[in-house]
Amino acid sequence: FSKKYRCIEVSAVEQGTVGLISLNRPDVLNALSEDLMHDLIDALQGLDASQEIGAIVLTGKGKAFAAGADIKELKDKDIVSIFMSPFPSKWNDIMKIKKPIIAAVNGYALGGGCEVALMCDIILAGEKAVFGQPELKLGTIPGMGGTQRLIREVGKSRAMEMILTGSYFLDAQEACQRGLASRVVAGSNADLINEAISVAGKIAKQSRPAVIIAKAAVNSAYETSLQEGLKQEKALFGATFALADRKEGMSAFIEKREPQFVHK
Ligand code: CO8
């Protein structure tokens, strides 16, 4: 991962099995500019395509995960440029990444920053994490999925209060209590990132195709009815029986040894 980016840093950790992406515009609290978005999506797609990488950690440098879309860049846009630009829908490309993405959020995850975290598969919250949707205060609304995804995580009433007041922020504890984040990691930013890398490392040790199938199965619950989702689960469960890794995993259990997955 020698590719150099303008707005992010990318490296491979955990013996090259985990991709670590750090949003790197700390002076503006990692505001999500168009350049940053292009960098981030390019890096995610590169890590997704890599044979070695099994999971991805996404974090922010400095005191924010990301404080939202870059307001200075948005300020002079008009309705035509917003509708014609690939910018708002391009963010949805994060949802096309097949490998799990773990957001390590310490500090502000506001507006688009909260929405990017919501597009990740697991959110680990540092003690200073703050989640919120302040767009109404700018005379606009969440535009990267916040009105749709937040309600599924924290319920309608709380999502409404967060979005309509723009000032009801969730701290790390409350984000966990409400199910937005998986858990709070105590300690410094480095402790949080190490924990996220450790979780990603555990995922990377699993059979990669089985992980990708599991992520797809869980995500189908967002898009479909229970019955349809159960049908998809059944088909995907059956598909794992075509994997060499499934045979190896079950053999290893019976032979009381660690599985040696070949990711096939
Ligand atoms: N965009 C651009 N610059 C920002 C942003 C941002 N979102 N957030 C912070 N900055 C800049 C500040 O302007 C400041 O720069 P400078 O030093 O040049 O003045 C620097 O970062 C540090 O910020 P503060 O001095 O404000 O730091 P504080 O610790 O005092 O406050 C806050 C931190 C509370 C996070 C505050 O910075 C803040 O309120 N930021 C804006 C949060 C916000 O409103 N986010 C929503 C943005 S809109 C959005 O995300 C829409 C998403 C949908 C887009 C769809 C695609 C088109």
pLDDT digits (tens, 9 = 90+) for 226-241: 999 999 999 999 999 9
Cα 116 to ligand 1 centroid, rounded to whole Å: 15
Reply yes or no on whether the pLDDT at 215 is more than 90.
yes
Atom 19 (ligand 1) nearest CA: 28
Catalytic residue among 115, 129, 175, 217: 115
- 137 Cα nearest atom in ligand 1: 44
**8 Å CB contact between 203 and 211:** yes
pLDDT grade, residue 87 (50/70/90)?
confident
pLDDT tens profile 22-48:
999 999 999 999 999 999 999 999 999
According to the model, what pLDDT value does residue 85 have? 82
According to the model, what pLDDT value does residue 84 have? 86
Quote the CA–CA distance of 218 and 8 in Å, as a whole number. Answer: 29
Cα 28 to ligand 1 centroid, rounded to whole Å: 7
Cα 73 to ligand 1 centroid, rounded to whole Å: 11
Percent of the chain with pLDDT over 90: 94
With a 6 A CB cut-off, is 87 part of the ligand 1 pocket?
A: yes
Catalytic residue among 68, 107, 112, 166: 112
With a 6 A CB cut-off, is 109 part of the ligand 1 pocket?
A: no
pLDDT grade, residue 72 (50/70/90)?
very high
pLDDT tens profile 182-213:
999 999 999 999 999 999 999 999 999 999 99
Reply yes or no on whether the pLDDT at 1 is more than 80.
no
According to the model, what pLDDT value does residue 86 have? 79
pLDDT grade, residue 92 (50/70/90)?
very high
Question: Within its chain, how far is the Cα of 113 from the centroid?
Answer: 10
Q: What is the mean pLDDT of the chain?
A: 96
Q: 12-36 burial, b if ≥16 CB within 10 A, otherwise e?
A: ebbeebbbbbbbbbeebbbbbbbeb
According to the model, what pLDDT value does residue 83 have? 87
| Catalytic residue list contains 69 | yes
According to the model, what pLDDT value does residue 141 have? 98
With a 6 A CB cut-off, is 72 part of the ligand 1 pocket?
A: yes
Q: What is the pTM of this model?
A: 0.97
Enclosing H/E stretch for 56: strand 55-60
Q: Dihedral through CA 38, CA 40, CA 45, CA 47, nearest 10?
A: 150
Reply yes or no on whether the pLDDT at 2 is more than 90.
no
Reply yes or no on whether the pLDDT at 49 is more than 90.
yes
With a 6 A CB cut-off, is 136 part of the ligand 1 pocket?
A: no
According to the model, what pLDDT value does residue 3 have? 85
Cα 158 to ligand 1 centroid, rounded to whole Å: 23
Percent of the chain with pLDDT over 70: 100
| Catalytic residue list contains 67 | no
CA atoms within 13 A on the CB side of 148: 8
User: DSSP assignment, residue 32?
Assistant: B
Question: Within its chain, how far is the Cα of 61 from the centroid?
Answer: 16
- 91 Cα nearest atom in ligand 1: 56
pLDDT grade, residue 125 (50/70/90)?
very high
**Poorest-confidence range of 54-58, 84-88, 155-159?**
84-88
With a 6 A CB cut-off, is 71 part of the ligand 1 pocket?
A: yes
